[in-house]
Structure 1
Amino acid sequence: MTHYALFETAIGSAGIAWSEAGLVACHLPEANAETARRGFLRRFPEALEAEPPAALEPTISGIQALMRGEKADLSKAPLDLTRTPEFHARVYEIAQAIPPGETLTYGEVAVRLGDKLLAQQVGQALGKNPWPIVVPCHRVTGSGGKLGGFSARGGAQTKLKLLAIEGAKAAAQGDLFA
């Protein structure tokens, strides 16, 4: 059974979904709770709204801290990987280890996976990341100082906003969209 909960952040209503195995998904902040709720129910129509378990309170607090512009370590959030392909899980593990305010390129993640030619597959895996912010796919950028894509609502502008909140050098660069 999948459950979800909504919570407020400095930039809007966010949410998490979980199962007995751990965190199933995260939802980036929306302008209001109803929009976030509809987003969850599109992805998980069977999900029930509930109070989050105590084990996920640090994850919620960490997301709220990041949205206030504070650094928070979400690398210990318990992820439910039962629906995740093995390659994607390996990419997410590397992304989750990137500290706030830092970035890696798609190519650097590919090299850590053992083959620099996997950069495109890394991007595809990150585009399907069900845990944005907790698995900080926004911290993976293109080569040569390019921002790269971002599949969440708001696209590259949301990615840039998240990087700016975290104080990443990549957010301060002027030519990220070229």
Structure 2
Amino acid sequence: MTDTLAFGTADTPLGRLLVGATETGVACLTFRDTPGGRARAAKAAGLPVVDDPARLDTPLNAVAGYFKGDTGPFGLPIDWRLVPPVHREVLSTLYETVPYGRTVTYGELGDRSGTGVHAQVIGQVMGANPIPLIVPCHRVVAANGLGGYSGGSGVEVKRWLLTLEGALPATLDWSPDQGPDQPR
């Protein structure tokens, strides 16, 4: 049987997230559900797209639980086929060793992964992460601050996610029900 890719969406305080999964596991997550985003993910995976809502039940429930305060690990199977080998080593180390509410610096993650990859390159790996949120690149910070973030609308999404997890203190206008792009 040929592998396939199925998509599902989760409505969150950050907007509608698109999750793609193969028979192996979660292969992609994007912060915007658009026809173009689905087409790009399917093309990158090189797999036919199928309608298989049951395949997405567990990942979508895990994403919904995250936004409702579930602090446990996602514990989802990941399909790493879209990830080059060195990136896979770094991202799998992140997925397996940096829990909810914790952060790691780019340099520490490079050391921890055993790849010998420099902190700046770790930043590039985080920016290319095809499964943000689930493979928590928002938890990777600079030694002197937040660093960058390419998910959603950028670094404010990173700040919001780290605040949700308790890694950063909440400001007076922060709300767990409203993402950083929504009016207060």
| TM-score interval for Structure 1 and Structure 2 normalised by the shorter chain | 0.7 to 0.9
1:79: how far off? 1.1
Cα separation, 1, equivalents of 2:52 and 2:11: 14
3-state DSSP class of the match of 1:13? strand
SS at match of 2:17: strand
For residues 115 and 7 of structure 1, the distance between their equivalents in structure 2, rounded to whole angstroms, comes to: 34
AA of the residue aligned to 1:48: V
Matched with 2:110 is 110
Give the secondary structure class of the aligned counterpart of 1:4: strand
Measured after TM superposition, the shift of residue 158 of structure 1 is 0.9
- Show the counterpart of 1:176: none
1:25 partner amino acid: C
The equivalent residue for 2:12 is: 9
Distance 2:51 2:69 in 1: 27
Identity over aligned residues, as a percent? 30
Structural mapping, 1:11-50, within 5 Å: 11-28=14-31, 30=32, 35-44=33-42, 48=49, 50=51
1:44: Cα distance to partner?
A: 2.4
User: Which structure features the higher share of helix residues?
Assistant: 1
- Equivalent in the alignment of 2:82: 83
Distance 1:16 1:117, change over 3 A: closer
What residue in structure 2 maps to residue 150 of structure 1? 149
Alignment check: 8 A CA contact 2:138 2:158 kept: yes
Mean CA deviation greater in 129-138 or 10-19: 10-19
Residue correspondence of structure 1 range 49-128 to structure 2 within 5 A: 50-54=51-55, 56-74=56-74, 76-97=75-96, 98-114=98-114, 118-128=118-128
Aligned to 2:178: none
Please report how far the alpha carbon of residue 57 of structure 1 lies from its aligned counterpart in structure 2 after TM superposition: 2.9
Deviation at 1:167, TM superposition (A): 1.2
User: Is the 1:107–1:118 contact (alpha carbons within 8 Å) kept by the matching residues of 2?
Assistant: yes
RMSD in angstroms over aligned alpha carbons?
Answer: 2.4
- Structure 1 runs of 4+ aligned residues shifted over 3 Å read 35-38, 45-49, 51-54, 114-117
Residues 112-168 of structure 1: CA distance to partner in whole angstroms, max 9, x if unpaired? 133666211211111110101110000000002x10111112110111111111111
Bigger mean CA deviation after superposition, 130-139 or 77-86: 77-86
**Distance between the aligned counterparts of 1:111 and 1:168, measured in 2?**
21
- How many matched pairs? 164
1:47 Cα offset (Å): 5.6
Deviation at residue 14 of structure 1 after TM alignment? 1.5
Q: Runs of 5+ in structure 2 lacking a partner?
A: 172-184
Relative distance call for 1:153 and 1:49 in structure 2 (3 A) is farther
Q: Can you give the 5+ residue segments of structure 1 that lack an aligned partner in the other structure?
A: 174-178
CA distance in 1, matches of 2:52, 2:78: 18
